[in-house]
Structure 1
Amino acid sequence: MCTEVISIYTLPDENNWNGRIDDTENPLSFRFHQVVRPKSIKELSAFTDKKTFGIIGFKCDEGVRRNGGRIGAAAAPDEIRKQLSKLPYHMEAEIVDAGDVVCEDKELEKAQSELGHYLNKLFAHSYIPIIIGGGHETLYGHYLGVRQFIGANKSLGIINIDAHFDLRTDDTPSSGTMFRQILSEDENAGYLCLGIQKFGNTKQLFAEASKYNCKYVSEEEITQYDRTFQAIDEFSGQYDYVIATLCTDSISSSVAPGVSAPSPVGLDPRVVRTILRYIIEKDNTLSFDLSEVNPLFDIDDQTSKLGAYLLAEVMESFDKKS
């Protein structure tokens, strides 16, 4: 697992980190671009006494293409960085931009393997990985890296905020198959999906969810926070470690038009923010990925901006943990 590494890693682009400067000396006035340090993942510095986030992009459309969706999400890592760059910085943690894994020549499986390889490097240096996709096939590379880091015998729960189960039984891996791949291969993994939509999944996919003992909360039920938080508590309590993933197409297309599969009755971003905070603040939550932002279909960068805001919220929630 994650043993083959190919030459599709690219160095971070310092041009992504620019913005307004209110003060060059006072950290209380800093924005993200004044804090983030672009650095090759092959030259990571030793862990300091501060928490350190390692941002890595996964520039990939291949999983969405295979799944019959509209491509363009490979442009998201840079666009989201540019929007994150401008935001005020409210944390004590350090941030390293560790560059990107790029899917070339439709070699999705190799790109996912390499993403896993580099995530394991981030974990080994005690960095908290923050992954910016790419299509939601990003999650499988995320999973590979976490599994390599924690070992085969530890239990791993995956919490997905999504309108879709992504449990398709297609022979060819895509952005719609990741959870079926994981659950069919890994007896120590479990799956909780929050935001499931009835008309985003066939009856067969609901049957697959039952087959793999997937837990889920529907889009209609998710704002009943007591029940949603209880589902998160019960699920995370069953596993040694948890990872979180957000498919941006779970959010209403009125505020997130630039996604691979727009959702006219999706979630309010405030709901997503509330749930993400709750998941990330769990003691055993290790890492996070955000996927399916598609800048080619965005309007005034509003989906990339939303992605940046949610990434900032996630990092703040990690930063608050002891």
Structure 2
Amino acid sequence: MYHEPAKEYWKGRIDSTSDKDSFRFHQTISLETTETMDIEEKTIALIGFECEEGVRRNKGRLGAKEAPNKIRNFLSNMPSSVLGGYSLSDVGNVSCEGENMEKAQMELGVHLKKVYSQNTVPIVIGGGHETLFGHYLGARCHLQKEARLGIINIDAHFDMRQEKQPSSGTMFRQILETDENAGYLCIGIQPFSNTNALFQTADELGCRYFLENDVKENMDAVFQAIDAFSAEHDAIIFTLCTDSISASEAPGVSAPAAFGLSVSDVRKLLSYIASKDNTISFDISEVNPALDENDRTSRLGAALIMEVINAFTKKN
């Protein structure tokens, strides 16, 4: 179900009512619906996906569906100067009704296609990591099936299991088995969080990946792989599963990681991927406000979105 954007999430400190250099997002954001939006200027568009059915099916800890609006609360006070020549719009949320995750993913894709058709860069705020499949559907419909679509996932898990029902752990297998023009690069894989069978599936389906230690020890090699992957595809979408980050820095996630990427390394990755000329959109998933500590992870999610916005707006 689609919900129009709400002003109640965009409130905060006012340092000035006239000096634009002092403005914060809540003073400058526009609220648009996907049905009526008519955007001419370059814009970052936020859309939420209030869904955790995939996490439930994956036997994970629930609470991620509350993240889109919670993260909006912390974005609200961020300085709007980061936008440069861009504007920021909130185009509302898509929510999952009951257990009908597949319908919600398709609906997210429909609304994202409308957002892509404007002069916008979509940022999707999940929700469980099933958010990515809806993100993918929107990008694929926008690009048409012949386009080479690359998907970069920063994650501790491959999310390539074979299950009777799709979940937050199946999306990339679903995509690679049905879309011959899709490619997958995964960064941050935890050897102790993926079975040998999953590594074999990744190899069989042509997934390229870096382990968590690879990122820590040789970031330049990761950047080179991103360069090569980007050059092979017409468009790139990318996704951050926040359970890739060490639980000491991101405690409020559906599946916390004892070992994980540092926030510093994740920031570098997000900025680098967003800066590629053919990167068209981003989603962040698995922030879980119900399990957070003093909103640390929700605040981190907002800050990481800011990192992506900064990179998107700097490249044009």
Q: How high is the TM-score relative to the length of structure 1?
A: 0.96
Shift of 1:171: 2.0
Shift of 1:13: 1.4
Question: Is 2:121 aligned against 1:121?
Answer: no
- 32, 37, 40: which one pairs with 1:44? 37
- 67, 72, 76: which one pairs with 1:76? 67
Report what 2:83 is aligned to: 91
2:210 and 2:243 map into 1 onto residues whose CA distance is 16
2:117 and 2:38 map into 1 onto residues whose CA distance is 11
Q: Which runs of 5+ in 1 are unaligned?
A: 1-7
SS at match of 2:273: helix
Shift of 1:47: 1.6
Cα deviation, 1:122-179, whole Å, max 9, x if unaligned, reads 0111211000000000000000000000000010000000000000011200000000
SS at match of 1:80: helix
Report what 1:138 is aligned to: 131
SS at match of 2:98: coil
Report what 1:183 is aligned to: 176
1:82 and 1:37 map into 2 onto residues whose CA distance is 15
Q: Give runs of aligned pairs for residues 255-274 of structure 1, distance below 5 A.
A: 255-274=249-268
SS at match of 2:214: coil
AA in 2 matched with 1:64: V
AA in 2 matched with 1:163: A
Q: CA RMSD in A?
A: 0.8
- 15, 21, 37: which one pairs with 2:14? 21
Q: Give runs of aligned pairs for residues 161-176 of structure 1, distance below 5 A.
A: 161-176=154-169
- 130, 144, 152: which one pairs with 1:151? 144
1:154 and 1:276 map into 2 onto residues whose CA distance is 23
AA in 1 matched with 2:142: F
SS at match of 2:169: coil
Cα deviation, 1:202-226, whole Å, max 9, x if unaligned, reads 1110011011010001100103111
Cα deviation, 1:82-115, whole Å, max 9, x if unaligned, reads 0111122222210110000000111100000000
2:183 and 2:201 map into 1 onto residues whose CA distance is 14
AA in 2 matched with 1:84: L
Identity %: 54
Shift of 1:60: 0.2
Report what 1:4 is aligned to: none
AA in 1 matched with 2:54: G
- 284, 290, 293: which one pairs with 1:299? 293
Q: How high is the TM-score relative to the length of structure 2?
A: 0.98
2:256 and 2:153 map into 1 onto residues whose CA distance is 17
- 209, 214, 220: which one pairs with 1:226? 220
